[in-house]
A = this chain, B = another copy of it.
């Protein structure tokens, strides 16, 4: 009887025995903008948790959007050739279409890069604290994450010397975000290029996430350097600066051979045609680009200075549209502050779940002057 029962149990299908074992412990961290969760989903909520450029107005683009909609009964161009041509122009013909790959948001590009290069037990350096999806994608493939920490006492800038020491141990890849999320510091471009060169000599792939580089100015991007460094893959996004997270589109730059491998791995038709069409238009919006860069530079300065007047708040330097705030000297945890602000209909990003940060970090996005003042007032009332 006992034996029979045992047999019955063992006959039951156990998914845990069938799935890739790397998935058993895999956990995803929460992100900003989770406004659809039951505990958050409420009307009138001001979302300062996602760092999206709010200056985009759709009206000037409605013609192209309508044109793209008439085509939704056809498959999108799986190679996004028109958009690639616009990107080539945007990058002043330094790149060619063969240097480019378009993806369903930069998260798609993170995943295909990882699927291309990261295998079981490969060692991968990740510069923390940073976007948690690198780590998630690496662990999903059974890769081993080696953390290199950006430190608060250095304003979270990269320590290139320390990072070189990590690379001397010959990991397979290194993941760097610049300007880094969640702090916004723009790392030195010459030092970054020197690092890429150092990595190349050691046959280490460099994954450089420039999702926020447009805020810092295009001259700070290393995407055109993919022609020199075949170990470099740079990803960019239409989500942040161009303000269309809802359409899911990003792009990457690399050596043609690298791009070919990534395209082998990517699923077919990764980007819908509405996103492809609108992205093209946005690249040509010179005024929107110029105004956005100027606005966020000035407004970041204003909000930083105002928040810094609140006793106990430390604001880190940024070249983006978001600010990282340390609350430790208020003795109030980020979780407490986040909850208190949510009661006043303001959603900010509790950063305590970032690897490399503790319980006292909050990220806020920069919005219009009115809303920013509301944010500042709410911080004031919660912290005092």
Contact = CB atoms under 8 A, between A and B. Distances in A.
Given A13-B230, A267-B107, A267-B108, A246 B75 contact: yes
A255 B97 CA distance: 43
Interface in A246-298: 246-248, 255, 257-258, 261, 264-265, 267-275
Nearest to A111: B267
A104 B103 CA distance: 12
Interface string A33-67: 11110000000000100101010101000000100
Contacts of A205: 18
A31 B246 contact: no
A140 interface: yes
Nearest to A274: B274
Q: How many copies does the complex hold?
A: 2
Nearest to A79: B36
B243 A73 contact: yes
Contacts of A50: 74-75
A248 B230 contact: no
A58 B72 contact: yes
B246 A273 contact: yes
B273 A272 contact: no
Contacts of A168: none
A23 interface: yes
A239 to B, nearest CB: 8
9 contacts: A15-B258, A19-B117, A26-B264, A33-B74, A52-B73, A58-B69, A105-B267, A246-B273, A274-B274
